[in-house]
Amino acid sequence: MEKIFHYLAALFSRFLFLIHAVLMICWLVLVKDNNLYFIFVSLLVALVIETFITVGFRKGHEYAGFCPSMFLYLLAVIPCDWITKRAVINFFHIFQALGSVYKSQDDEAVLYTLEQALVLILVIGRWLLPKGSISRDQLSQLLLVYVGMAADIMEFTEIIKEDEIRKVNMLNNNHFVNAVILFWSMSLFQFTLTISGTERTAQLNEYIELVSLLVPMLMQDGPFLIIRLIAIAYYEVNHDTLYFLTVKNALVIMLQIYRIFVLY
């Protein structure tokens, strides 16, 4: 029965990855009106090959410490998201030049729905995929952490999406917009790592805990805090949710640093 579950979990998770990636690529083609972007489908070939290796040769057992299927999935969908998001922002500039207000057009609404689905699929994937030496107790704790991370990640791009937050001068700054998209993309790769195990020495345990503290601090909380502080201090964005998330990121970083000092 356990072997059957391994097979089904491996196939179902990768099926979700493939379906969502194809939807992202199709939406990119529709927004840009250019069939050339179907070339991104070629990136999914590597995911299909990885699926055959995992299911056929590894009998559905996943890799310990790293999830290649999720990594390949992100490599396929993140470039599509970048290009589509830049196109949406260009539409915003066009509306501003015409003197009208750009409010949640269909292309923007679909894009952010696909982004939210992306984060949810990553959480579901982490539930199905990571086995190896990880215990059920550790997996449940890890999933609780991932759910909290996912909520913050989904809120992060509100800075350049939500009409009540984003400002014209903010979107006119390509460096700021690119930084938001870059840090959002970088935070997603946390889900490809499984820094946990069941049997380990005390020294290895300290090393793993250190890595588990540094990864979210450097890939999510730190960059997110910087961007949100810039939005508040430089662009003078006044929004209660933004204030709350900024304080939350700062508190998490302080707790992570405190924990590191306790360990060493």
Q: What is the pTM of this model?
A: 0.89
43-95 residue pLDDT tens: 999 999 998 888 778 776 777 778 899 999 999 999 999 999 988 888 766 66
Rounded distance between C-alpha atoms, residue 78 and residue 83, angstroms: 9
CB burial of residue 112 (10 Å; 0-12, 13-18, 19+): middle
Rounded distance between C-alpha atoms, residue 193 and residue 159, angstroms: 27
12-24 residue pLDDT tens: 999 999 999 999 9
**pLDDT recorded at residue 100:** 56
**pLDDT recorded at residue 131:** 58
Question: Is 246 a domain residue?
Answer: no
Question: Is 214 a domain residue?
Answer: no
Residue 264 has pLDDT above 70, yes or no: yes
Q: What confidence category does residue 197 fall into, taking pLDDT thresholds of 50, 70 and 90?
A: low
Question: Is 217 a domain residue?
Answer: no
CA–chain centroid gap for 196, Å, is 20
| Residue (of 73, 106, 88) closest to 181 by Cα position | 88
Question: Is 44 a domain residue?
Answer: yes
Question: Is 127 a domain residue?
Answer: yes
| Residue (of 160, 164, 189, 158) closest to 173 by Cα position | 160
Structural domains counted in the chain: 1
**pLDDT recorded at residue 165:** 65
**Which tokens go with 200?**
């380990």
Rounded distance between C-alpha atoms, residue 136 and residue 253, angstroms: 27
> Worst-scoring range by mean pLDDT, 196-200, 208-212, 215-219?
196-200
Question: Is 159 a domain residue?
Answer: yes
Q: Which domain holds residue 5?
A: 1-196
**pLDDT recorded at residue 72:** 94
| C-alpha triplet 32, 35, 41: angle, nearest 5° | 105
**pLDDT recorded at residue 108:** 77
Q: Taking residues 159-188, what's their average pLDDT? A: 84
114-171 residue pLDDT tens: 999 999 999 998 888 755 556 677 777 778 888 989 999 999 988 887 666 666 678 8
Question: Is 230 a domain residue?
Answer: no
Rounded distance between C-alpha atoms, residue 48 and residue 109, angstroms: 29
**pLDDT recorded at residue 220:** 96
**pLDDT recorded at residue 219:** 95
Longest dimension (CA), the chain: 64
Rounded distance between C-alpha atoms, residue 99 and residue 141, angstroms: 50
Tell me the average pLDDT of the chain: 85
Q: Taking residues 183-198, what's their average pLDDT? A: 83
